[in-house]
Amino acid sequence: RKEVEQDPGPFNVPEGATVAFNCTYSNSASQSFFWYRQDCRKEPKLLMSVYSSGNEDGRFTAQLNRASQYISLLIRDSKLSDSATYLCVVRPTSGTYKYIFGTGTRLKVLA
Amino acid sequence: NAGVMQNPRHLVRRRGQEARLRCSPMKGHSHVYWYRQLPEEGLKFMVYLQKENIIDESGMPKERFSAEFPKEGPSILRIQQVVRGDSAAYFCASSRGWDTANTEAFFGQGTRLTVV
């Protein structure tokens, strides 16, 4: 089983739609969680950290469910510029604290 | 405040040559991570370093690959005797440390290695 699993997509949605991505992780000792976005083979850019109580940043909402070991990202009012690959990242407390990336979910927002 | 700096951005090497990739972390960051991304694939962890220490090299191929992060200067990822399969984008990230929850990592623009 992969340490971090994501649906690769693509998710094709019209502008203005709401879209949600889920990510599951296998290591229950994981401590820190993040969402990154990656455009067209460029470097991953931090979108937001995910806090235990859930957090929101504008149109983006992240949730963490430790019991079920999954993280979600909700994007409201999708824009064309949201088209990218969204990477779920987990950082365990055990071991060496490296950042473990999912393979990403591709989103295409259509005009 | 400069971000993570990687150079070169593009590197072409012939089979059998050596490739050296450099990464300078963000100011105030002492932890460096190297990742490799093959075409149409996700980011694969290679190695995690602190100044003068390799913390985790579990993702490094056993041969031809090495990494260092000296007391002075950038972190270096070195690939000896490159083969076509080494062609990939190599990303470096840095963070402040490991003892703070939600310590965020920031990435450089990557080095795209092409082996011909």
For chain B, 116 residues long, the average pLDDT of each consecutive 10-residue run is: 90 98 94 92 92 92 96 96 97 82 86 97
Distance separating alpha carbons of residues B24 and B70, to the nearest angstrom = 11
Distance separating alpha carbons of residues B79 and A86, to the nearest angstrom = 29
Nearest to B56 among A32, A41, A96 (CB): A96
Interface contact B109-A43, CB threshold 8 A: yes
Kindly write down the DSSP assignment for every residue of B26-85, as one continuous string. Answer: PTT--EEEEEEE-TTS-EEEEEEEETTEEEE-TTS-SSSEEEE--SSS-EEEEE-S--GG
Residue B106 · residue B4 · CB < 8 Å: yes
A6 pLDDT above the threshold of 60: yes
Strand partners, A102: none
Tokens representing residue B62 in the block:
């056993």
A31 pLDDT above the threshold of 90: no
Interface contact B55-A102, CB threshold 8 A: no
Range A100-108 average pLDDT: 94
State residue B102's pLDDT score.
Answer: 59
Residues of B with CB under 8 A from a CB of A: 33, 35, 37, 41-43, 45, 48, 55-56, 89, 91, 93, 95, 98, 101-110
Place of tokens 């190695």: B47
Distance separating alpha carbons of residues A111 and A82, to the nearest angstrom = 12
Residue A30 · residue B101 · CB < 8 Å: no
The candidate with the shortest Cα–Cα distance to A109, out of A83, A74, A77, is A83
Interface contact B108-A42, CB threshold 8 A: no
Q: Nearest 5°: phi and psi at A81?
A: -70, -10
Distance separating alpha carbons of residues B116 and B36, to the nearest angstrom = 18
State residue A88's pLDDT score.
Answer: 96
State residue B101's pLDDT score.
Answer: 58
State residue A29's pLDDT score.
Answer: 79
Residue A54 · residue A35 · CB < 8 Å: no
State residue A41's pLDDT score.
Answer: 77
pLDDT tens-digit series, residues A34-92: 999 999 879 999 999 998 888 999 999 999 999 999 999 999 999 999 999 999 999 88
State residue A82's pLDDT score.
Answer: 98
